[in-house]
């Protein structure tokens, strides 16, 4: 554990120093930067506020489950009930509880619907395909009782949705703060993309760290340090593509003249392209490491401890 702390400190500390010091090279905007969308993009602003508030709810519930080890009493239906019920408010919100700014819009024109659809598709691709890279490259295993498809617990499709909504809301805020706080320049572009990489790694590491006490998502003991260091970089490839692409979803509506909201078609095409970009990066890494990709599974199966 001491070697792990040293290794992660050696990785994260320089990243932190870089992110704090680099803005000294940038020219601040005359207007104060903002974390949330401006009021002339109220639909996106309202949704991000909703997502932030709901993040407190699901994180609190998950923390109680992990700390109390309530999961030890869960069956496959228990995992489905927990993850499905926590994902449901986010999945249903665009239809049943639209924000005041979107109530009069058809559901397919609502930013909340497009954001939910984007994350739902990306979560599905990530679970259905990318999980097998973790099985092969990092020798990861889900051992809790679960309904499965393609050898992936179906409950994880739901869990990933609320995880990713939170991650991408925070990344939106971070990237927006950079764009609105500093004058456009080559240096600002470098800072923007280096922040994408740094926050991607940090997000992946923090998820790995926070679920480390959950015994039913496991890795070989001898690979534990590599999972935190190299594995976080491997997982971070998801977000190097998804953070900037999700950020641009309706980001400049009402801000730049002539920019129109995404259509549902554009939303689906962009997230599908994002999914393929991540898949290619994961496979390039697998090929570089000379590790075979093994995909075994059925359309539907039930596994119990």
Kindly state whether residue 165 falls inside one of the protein's structural domains.
yes
Q: Where are the alpha helices (DSSP H) in 211-291?
A: 224-247, 264-288
pLDDT for the residue 298: 85
* Integer Cα distance of 209 and 54 in angstroms: 22
CA proximity to 243, closest of 178, 290, 173: 173
CA proximity to 111, closest of 252, 261, 273, 257: 261
pLDDT for the residue 133: 95
Element (H, E) at 302: strand 301-303
pLDDT for the residue 253: 93
Kindly state whether residue 146 falls inside one of the protein's structural domains.
no
Half-sphere exposure for 125 (CA within 13 Å, toward CB)? 21
pLDDT for the residue 291: 93
Give the Å distances, CA to CA, from 21 to 11, 17, 31, 173.
16, 6, 21, 19
pLDDT for the residue 246: 98
* Integer Cα distance of 303 and 305 in angstroms: 7
CB of 179 closer than 8 Å to CB of 192: yes
pLDDT for the residue 303: 77
Kindly state whether residue 302 falls inside one of the protein's structural domains.
no
Length of the chain: 305
* Integer Cα distance of 103 and 279 in angstroms: 37
Element (H, E) at 148: strand 146-149
The domain tally of the chain equals 1
Domain range for 93 is 2-67+79-141+154-292
Kindly state whether residue 284 falls inside one of the protein's structural domains.
yes
Kindly state whether residue 149 falls inside one of the protein's structural domains.
no
* Integer Cα distance of 23 and 284 in angstroms: 33
What is the three-class DSSP state of 142? strand
Kindly state whether residue 299 falls inside one of the protein's structural domains.
no
pLDDT for the residue 152: 96
pLDDT in tens, the chain (305 residues): 567 677 778 888 999 999 999 999 999 998 889 999 999 999 999 999 999 999 999 999 999 999 999 999 999 999 999 999 999 999 999 999 999 999 999 999 999 999 999 999 999 999 999 999 999 998 899 999 999 999 999 999 999 999 999 999 999 999 999 999 999 999 999 999 999 999 999 999 999 888 877 889 888 767 777 778 888 999 999 999 999 999 999 999 988 888 999 999 999 999 999 999 999 999 999 999 999 998 888 888 887 66
| pTM (predicted TM-score) | 0.95
Kindly state whether residue 23 falls inside one of the protein's structural domains.
yes
Half-sphere exposure for 296 (CA within 13 Å, toward CB)? 5
Kindly state whether residue 227 falls inside one of the protein's structural domains.
yes
Q: Report residue 84: phi and psi, to 5°.
A: -65, -40
* Integer Cα distance of 203 and 175 in angstroms: 14
Other beta carbons less than 10 A from residue 53's beta carbon: 9
Sign of CA dihedral 281, 283, 287, 291: positive
CB of 296 closer than 8 Å to CB of 147: no
Q: Report residue 75: phi and psi, to 5°.
A: -95, -175
Element (H, E) at 301: strand 301-303
Residue 32's contacts (CB-CB under 8 Å, 6 or more residues apart) are 181
pLDDT for the residue 305: 60
């Amino acid at each position: 554990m001491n070697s792990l702390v040293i290794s992660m400190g050696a990785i994260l500390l320089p990243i932190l120093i870089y992110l704090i010091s680099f803005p000294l090279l940038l020219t601040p905007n005359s207007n104060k930067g903002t974390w949330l969308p401006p009021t002339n993009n109220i639909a996106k602003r309202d949704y991000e506020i909703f997502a932030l508030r709901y993040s407190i709810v699901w994180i609190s519930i998950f923390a109680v489950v992990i700390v109390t080890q309530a999961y030890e009493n869960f069956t496959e239906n228990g995992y489905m009930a927990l993850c499905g019920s926590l994902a449901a408010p986010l999945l249903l919100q665009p239809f049943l509880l639209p924000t005041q700014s979107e109530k009069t819009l058809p559901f397919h024109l609502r930013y909340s619907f497009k954001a939910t659809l984007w994350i739902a598709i990306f979560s599905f691709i990530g679970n259905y395909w990318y999980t097998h890279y973790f099985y092969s490259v990092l020798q990861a295993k889900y051992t809790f009782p679960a309904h499965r498809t393609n050898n992936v617990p179906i409950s994880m499709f739901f869990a990933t949705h609320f995880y990713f909504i939170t991650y991408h809301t925070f990344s939106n805020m971070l990237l927006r703060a950079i764009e609105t706080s500093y004058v456009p320049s080559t240096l600002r572009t470098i800072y923007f993309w280096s922040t994408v990489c740094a926050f991607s790694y940090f997000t992946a590491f923090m998820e790995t760290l926070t679920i480390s006490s959950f015994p039913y998502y496991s890795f070989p003991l001898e690979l534990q340090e590599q999972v935190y260091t190299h594995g976080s970089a491997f997982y971070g490839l998801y977000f190097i593509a998804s953070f900037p692409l999700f950020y641009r979803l309706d980001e400049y509506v009402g801000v730049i003249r002539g920019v129109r909201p995404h259509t549902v078609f554009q939303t689906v095409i962009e997230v599908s392209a994002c999914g393929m970009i991540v898949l290619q990066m994961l496979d390039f890494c697998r090929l570089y490491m000379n590790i075979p990709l093994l995909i075994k599974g059925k359309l539907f199966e039930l596994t119990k401890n």
